[in-house]
Structure 1
Amino acid sequence: MTTADDALRLLVHRQNLRNTCIAADTDAHAPLAPGQARMRIDSFALTANNVTYAAFGEAMKYWEFFPAEPSTLGCIPVWGFATVVESRAVGVEPGERCFGFWPIGSHLLVTPARVDAQGFVDGAAHRQALPSAYNRVQFCRSDPGYVQAHEARQALLRPLFITSFLIDDFLAEQSFFGARQVLLSSASSKTAYGTALCLSGRHGDAASVAVTGLTSQANLEFTRSLGCYDQVLAYDDLSALDPEVPTVYVDMSGSAAQRMAVHTHFNGALSYSCAVGGTHWDALGPGSGLPGPRPTLFFAPTQLRKRTHPPPEGWGPEGLQQRIQAAWARLMAAMDGAGRSPWLVVHEGHGVDAVRQAYLSLIEGRTDPRAGHMLSFWPPAAQA
């Protein structure tokens, strides 16, 4: 039975992401309308990617997925697992376990549309204008990539890795804009690692490029141990890179100062500046007034939609999924490589205090890069 203590959401102040509050989750008890279903959010991943969702909440409409009141507050989206606990929607039965895009909370009311054997789309009115890639809910029983023992890996890595896969695909499609090097900031992050893994998999091809990472001094040794970068430097050592080498900058950090340093260092040799993340959320700044190309925001759903189209523009839905599955298998093999120290260490947390503390550690940059937070508002015995 759901109690008042279980029916909660974590909200943050949009203008100061360090400020949080806990609010009642009204989706836990609101009466179901015909066509609706109530999801119990069993567990969810919390990573630097969710910090990016918050950092770009206004510009990329992430705050609009799970509206909060008053509007000065926001609910950060997360990826994870949920169970249907009540349903008035045809084809969506209680007990169905699902993977999808949820609020940091205990429940979510959904309006299942286009229900099929694989899952459904949340057809709630306020989500109609939002990117469809985030509205799809997958039934675990029909997900070919689902492994119960690896739920944490799926929640922590799969959404990020799909972004990594699409960044690599986009750059390769553009022949790397003529560059011979791809430079990634926040190189210890999971999205940067996935991108570097995909890029390094092209080594030996005519179109391959060198893969260079920038990270903090504290994460330097860890990032070098990942084995997918040709070289890794601390941010302060940027000047050691040859400024004449044609370079694409993939910016995972969003740091305005670091972006200026990279643009200034390479200047005419910088062939493309790709803005992806906001891990340095408190150091964001405008992309204008920089030497070299103006930064261009990479939005994964756009590339995903393009590749879903039939040839020649895309691969079709099946072709896309086959390629993603093959790349995912390479990631799993790299993670399980014999003799390597664990690259991902899962930290489970239960209850509102654990959720809040994990969030604050991420927002303040105190999380070990190996750590992957799997969280729940529910005690362990209450989870599916």
Structure 2
Amino acid sequence: MSTTTLQVRQDQLATTRLLTTEDTALADGQIRVQVAQFALTANNITYAAMGDMLNYWQFFPTGEAGWGIVPVWGFATVVQSLHPAVAVGERLYGYWPMASHAVLSPQRVSPSGFSDGAAHRAGLHAVYNHYLRSGADAFYRPETEDVQALLRPLFITSWLVDDFLADQQFFGAKRMLLSSASSKTAYGTAFQLAQREGIEVIGLTSPGNVAFCESLGCYDRVATYDALDQIDGAAPSVYIDFAGSVGLRQRILVHFTGLAYSCAVGASHVQDLGGAGQLPGPRPVMFFAPAQVKKRNGEWGAQGLNDRLVAAWTQFSATIQAPPQPWLVVQHHVGPEATQALFRQMLQGGGDPRIGHITTLQTN
């Protein structure tokens, strides 16, 4: 058996290569999975763009300096097992390499899932190291695997951003400004914020995505990036940045003098990333979803948090698939070359925001 992997130059993301290697024998306690399908979204571009800063390259090391594997969310099936509590044929949801296969070392195995006990992942956050058994997963529906792979991790981030801001009383502001408003994490956040009484949700986007954002119904107002001056800058506001564009951030901080908080979530504009520099207003604070998970686990318990997430996900997933105009239309890409081409395409940004990309390095 062999494994094909898509590798990326860490300092030049558009430079990629496909590498096929012969699989080595499993050690006792290990399992091998076939990565059946995974989503490729702006979220994964954020993982690559912030790979060094947030340790994303460390999850699936290549062993060769300068080359990395971008993590993805999706589903896999156990094809070999030397672990007594994990059976061949089990379906798993979690964080995978962009590869045809992966090897895990299950530990803390329970009826609901397990963690990967590989030594190189020991210091990484538990949220990303945990794998869920689909047979016991309250989120799981076999017929909606595509939507789960595409939106589940993004929506959990969206839900946590909304929860964090509400927990902070929105820093005293009533207006939320969301950049990259057509991105899945942004509109998931807007969907949650729109349910908050007294909160105005403004989506910021490029001219080509205005109609899409307005069609969603979760933004009170949609504005283009070149029309910021048409929005009152003195009103207390929170900037929720899904773009990561330093140029846009500078314009936001200069115009919105009433900005109460600047929350950096994503980096979909990878060509224009940068630090805050000597900018006016509040310094951007990077939102780290696992920190809010840890806080709520402590307050509500893991089951309490999961129940809230499942309820919100059920409402959101029904909304985004509802006719006559679903928010999301799935497009499939099959094989290593198709996946490589899609990754390069995603780096360029743009594209139809209504399309969700599901891919696999498997060819059969």
1:8 aligns with 2:22: no
1:213 aligns with 2:225: no
Alignment partners' CA distance in 2, 1:119 and 1:172: 30
Paired position in structure 2 for 1:356: 340
Alignment partners' CA distance in 2, 1:182 and 1:25: 48
Which residue identity does 2:319 align to in structure 1? A
Secondary structure at the aligned position of 2:280 is classed as coil
Shift of 1:334: 1.5
Shift of 1:342: 2.2
Paired position in structure 1 for 2:331: 347
1:129 aligns with 2:102: no
Paired position in structure 2 for 1:20: 16
Unaligned ranges ≥5, structure 1: none
Paired position in structure 1 for 2:178: 184
Which residue identity does 2:297 align to in structure 1? T
8 Å Cα contact 1:63-1:75 kept in structure 2? yes
Paired position in structure 1 for 2:234: 244
Number of positions where the alignment pairs a residue of Structure 1 with one of Structure 2: 364
Secondary structure at the aligned position of 2:256 is classed as helix
Alignment partners' CA distance in 1, 2:322 and 2:361: 33
Which residue identity does 1:216 align to in structure 2? S
Which residue identity does 1:326 align to in structure 2? A
Secondary structure at the aligned position of 2:327 is classed as coil
Alignment partners' CA distance in 2, 1:157 and 1:211: 20
Residues 35-88 of structure 1, C-alpha deviations (whole Å, 9 max, x = no match): 111111111110000000001100000000000132201100000111111111
Secondary structure at the aligned position of 1:315 is classed as helix
Shift of 1:25: 4.4
Percent identity, aligned pairs only, is 48
Alignment partners' CA distance in 2, 1:69 and 1:133: 24
Paired position in structure 1 for 2:358: 374
Give the root-mean-square deviation of aligned CA atoms.
Answer: 1.1
Alignment partners' CA distance in 1, 2:221 and 2:351: 23
Secondary structure at the aligned position of 1:81 is classed as strand
TM-score normalised by length of structure 2:
0.98
Which residue identity does 1:287 align to in structure 2? A
Residues 141-194 of structure 1, C-alpha deviations (whole Å, 9 max, x = no match): 111211111000000000000000000000000000011101000000000000
TM-score normalised by length of structure 1:
0.93
1:38 aligns with 2:23: no
Shift of 1:336: 3.6
Partner residue of 1:86 out of 71, 80, 93 = 80
Unaligned ranges ≥5, structure 2: none
Superposition pairs of residues 133-172 of structure 1, within 5 angstroms: 133-172=127-166
1:270 aligns with 2:259: yes
Alignment partners' CA distance in 2, 1:211 and 1:25: 49
Alignment partners' CA distance in 2, 1:338 and 1:45: 22
Q: 1:97 to 1:42 in 2, by over 3 A?
A: same
Which residue identity does 2:164 align to in structure 1? F
Partner residue of 2:89 out of 69, 87, 95 = 95
Shift of 1:288: 2.7
Alignment partners' CA distance in 1, 2:317 and 2:32: 33
Which residue identity does 1:273 align to in structure 2? S
8 Å Cα contact 1:25-1:105 kept in structure 2? no
Partner residue of 1:325 out of 302, 310, 313 = 310
Paired position in structure 1 for 2:245: 255
8 Å Cα contact 1:81-1:98 kept in structure 2? yes
Q: 1:338 to 1:372 in 2, by over 3 A?
A: closer
Alignment partners' CA distance in 1, 2:277 and 2:174: 25
Secondary structure at the aligned position of 1:342 is classed as coil
Which residue identity does 1:227 align to in structure 2? G
1:301 aligns with 2:290: yes
Alignment partners' CA distance in 2, 1:193 and 1:30: 43
Q: 1:270 to 1:22 in 2, by over 3 A?
A: same
Which residue identity does 2:284 align to in structure 1? P
Secondary structure at the aligned position of 2:28 is classed as coil
